[in-house]
Amino acid sequence: MRPSPYSPTPTGRAIILLNMAKGGVHGKKTRMMNSTKKKKTNNPNVPGKHRKTSKRDQTSEGSRADKKQPSTSTKPTIVILADTKKSSPPWQVLGKQDMMKNVEAEIIRRERIRMGIDSPSAGNANKETQKADVSGANRLMTKADRSMLSWKRFNPLNAPSDLTMVGAYVENRLPPSLGVPEIAFLGRSNVGKSSLLNRLVSKAGGDTARVGKTPGATASVNLYALLGPKRKGGNSGLGAPDAKPILGFADLPGFGYAKLSKETKEGIEETAELYLGKRRELALGILLVDSRRVPNADDRAVLAACFDLGLPIIIVATKSDKLKANEVELAMSTIRDGLGLPDGQPLRISAVTGEGIRDLWGIILDACEMRVEELKLSIEEGRDDGGVMRVTLNEESESDDYYDDFESDEDIDEEYFEDGDDLVYDQGYDWVQSRGLSDVEEVMGDVLDDFYDRDEYVEDVAVEDEKWGEKRQQVDKESFNLKNLKRRFAEMERRGEI
Ligand SMILES: Nc1nc2c(ncn2[C@@H]2O[C@H](COP(=O)(O)OP(=O)(O)OP(=O)(O)O)[C@@H](O)[C@H]2O)c(=O)[nH]1
Ligand SMILES: [Mg+2]
């Protein structure tokens, strides 16, 4: 049975890595940010941990080397440096292997000089004394990557000074790079994307994202730069003359809103797809769902698309202030069941009361650190993918790597999504596709279709509130039936009957 993006994942870790090698459309690795507390770990490869050798390690390494090899004219002292010298520019990163190779080459070179084989000016002509070639890795680094590598976690309460809009994009082109990690807001129209962005940066001055009473307020990919502390003499080139960007926010247009013209929608979709699939700086997608509504096929399709793109994602339930205390548990379990989320999710937030904002900031900053760490690793390993395992959905691959895990060509045809296939949506991004239902859900497709179809769009808030009570009762009953069916299915599977 193939794993699904919707299968429950273990909880208790800050970041869950789901290997989608067999489950995703392209068989790429995907990951999911969990809203539960982070476990402390000493593993330096874990996101958030810097791989730099600590100061203590550096001095003990150094002094050990000194003791072993006292400085005499014949025995050179070679002090093993840390992975990255503190004073060196951030782009001069040297992987451990390369570093060891350089140390060995230097030992051999000095030995050859001592024995009179080479002269000190001979350089590294001899194969044995050739140092690791890291020029390729350095050459590949763009200015934006170099800037990303020096990104530092900040305190969202006092570090940001201003929010400034960089631009609005609809023409199938990427916004200019800010050289800092970026966060994208995704979700249906009117779910509260722009409001959440404004709340997250409410302490900063400057621009605000446009909040609409009617859906469709945001119709372009709007990139905002959060600027750091103002400093004399600095120049970000982004309006505020004395502050540098510390984070980027992309407010994406809401999906599920049909009243835009076909051309506008197509333009938006193209830009959104390009942004999510290709943006090197993108660290995290925040998928917003309304606390009071049952997730629908569009929500699931966007979630599946993010999984397939390999984008780390956190799901937040918005407008939690509109829930009565006794409605909270049911509302959260409805979203959890509707999207197949693990326990502890979604994260409840409110742009009005500020609930969940602090937790969300923690998750955002963790994701940014992870992104920077991935980039650093990819450069150290000489890869030019920037650590992004991301693909655009309509991009054909030259190699067959994606399909290694599929058994036959038939399977490939079935799994591979072609743009313009029958999975085109009238509403929402047409590049998303609703594959990825778990096996349980596939078997019970009819039941679920019926279950989710009741989620009609309610524009009038008063009517919405009135219907809320009724809908809760209905959902309650149906999710009970659904759980029973799921249990029965699991039992049948255990007994080997299916
Ligand atoms: N009570 C309450 N209302 C909210 C909250 N967040 C957003 N709203 C309201 O929901 C409506 C839509 O908010 P927006 O932030 O414009 O939603 P959006 O997702 O950006 O919408 P599009 O740009 O159309 O995709 C506005 O009337 C907001 O005032 C919240 O946390 N609580
Ligand atoms: Mg908006």
Q: Residue 228 pLDDT more than 50?
A: yes
From ligand 2's centre to the CA of 207, what distance in Å?
Answer: 14
User: Of 489 and 55, which is predicted with more confidence?
Assistant: 489
Of 253-262, 269-278, 425-434, give the lowest mean pLDDT range.
Answer: 425-434
SS3 of 164, please? strand
Q: Which of 196-200, 234-238, 389-393 has the highest mean pLDDT?
A: 196-200
Looking up tokens 């509260």, which residue turns up?
A: 192
Burial call 473-496: b when 16+ CB within 10 Å, e when fewer:
eebeebbeebeeebeebeeeeeee
pLDDT value at residue 184: 95
pLDDT value at residue 117: 80
pLDDT value at residue 475: 59
From ligand 2's centre to the CA of 144, what distance in Å?
Answer: 27
Q: Residue 178 pLDDT more than 50?
A: yes
Confidence band (pLDDT; 50, 70, 90) for 290?
Answer: very high
Chain centre to alpha carbon of residue 358: 19
pLDDT in tens, 69-105: 443 444 333 333 333 333 333 334 455 666 677 777 7
Of 84-88, 104-108, 183-187, 315-319, give the lowest mean pLDDT range.
Answer: 84-88
Which residue's CA lies nearest to atom 12 of ligand 1?
Answer: 190
pLDDT value at residue 369: 92
Domain boundaries, the chain: 1-36+144-498, 55-143
- What ipTM does this complex have? 0.99
pLDDT value at residue 472: 59
pLDDT value at residue 307: 81
Q: Which of 53-57, 122-126, 428-432, 461-465 has the highest mean pLDDT?
A: 122-126
Q: Which of 264-278, 334-348, 405-419, 420-434 has the highest mean pLDDT?
A: 334-348
From ligand 1's centre to the CA of 254, what distance in Å?
Answer: 11
pLDDT value at residue 57: 39
Q: Which of 226-235, 258-267, 304-313 has the highest mean pLDDT?
A: 304-313
How many angstroms separate the Cα of 408 from the Cα of each of 2, 22, 338, 404? 15, 13, 32, 10
Q: What is the mean pLDDT of residues 349-376?
A: 92
Of 178-187, 235-244, 285-294, 368-377, give the lowest mean pLDDT range.
Answer: 235-244
pLDDT value at residue 101: 73
SS3 of 223, please? strand
From ligand 2's centre to the CA of 253, what distance in Å?
Answer: 6
Ligand 1: which atom is nearest the Cα of residue 187?
Answer: 19
- Rounded CA-CA distance 134/382 in Å is 8
Confidence band (pLDDT; 50, 70, 90) for 112?
Answer: confident
Q: Which residue among 202, 211, 260, 458 is best mutated to probe the pocket of ligand 1, counting the most ligand atoms within 8 A of its Cβ?
A: 211
User: Of 316 and 389, which is predicted with more confidence?
Assistant: 316
Ligand 1: which atom is nearest the Cα of residue 214?
Answer: 24
From ligand 2's centre to the CA of 437, what distance in Å?
Answer: 28
Of 229-238, 388-397, 415-424, give the lowest mean pLDDT range.
Answer: 415-424
Q: Which of 222-236, 334-348, 421-435 has the highest mean pLDDT?
A: 334-348
Domain 1-36+144-498 grouped into CATH 3.40.50.300: yes
Q: Which residue among 189, 190, 321 is best mutated to probe the pocket of ligand 1, counting the most ligand atoms within 8 A of its Cβ?
A: 190
Of 5-14, 352-361, 366-375, 395-404, give the lowest mean pLDDT range.
Answer: 5-14
Q: How many CB atoms lie within 10 A of CB 72?
A: 8
Q: What is the mean pLDDT of residues 372-382?
A: 82
Q: What is the mean pLDDT of residues 148-154?
A: 91
Ligand 1: which atom is nearest the Cα of residue 257?
Answer: 24
pLDDT value at residue 4: 33
Ligand 1: which atom is nearest the Cα of residue 251?
Answer: 20
CA angle 156, 162, 165 (to 5 degrees): 115
From ligand 1's centre to the CA of 210, what distance in Å?
Answer: 10
Cβ proximity of 317 and 405 under 8 Å: no
Q: Residue 343 pLDDT more than 70?
A: yes
User: Of 273 and 156, which is predicted with more confidence?
Assistant: 156
Q: Which residues line ligand 1 (CB under 6 A)?
A: 187, 189-195, 211-213, 215-218, 253-254, 318-319, 321-322, 350-352
pLDDT value at residue 122: 65
Structural tokens at position 256:
């599920």
Structural tokens at position 122:
């001979």
Alpha helix (H) residue ranges in 122-213: 135-140, 143-149, 193-200
Of 7-21, 57-71, 402-416, 462-476, give the lowest mean pLDDT range.
Answer: 7-21
Q: What is the mean pLDDT of residues 452-470?
A: 47
pLDDT value at residue 332: 93
Confidence band (pLDDT; 50, 70, 90) for 68?
Answer: very low
Which residue's CA lies nearest to atom 32 of ligand 1?
Answer: 319
From ligand 1's centre to the CA of 161, what distance in Å?
Answer: 24
SS3 of 332, please? helix
- Rounded CA-CA distance 16/26 in Å is 19
pLDDT in tens, 363-372: 999 999 999 9
Structural tokens at position 261:
């013209």
Cβ proximity of 434 and 300 under 8 Å: yes
Contacts of 221 (CB under 8 A, 6+ apart): 168, 169, 170, 175, 250, 251, 252, 253, 268, 271, 272, 275
Cβ proximity of 141 and 203 under 8 Å: no
Ligand 1: which atom is nearest the Cα of residue 189?
Answer: 25
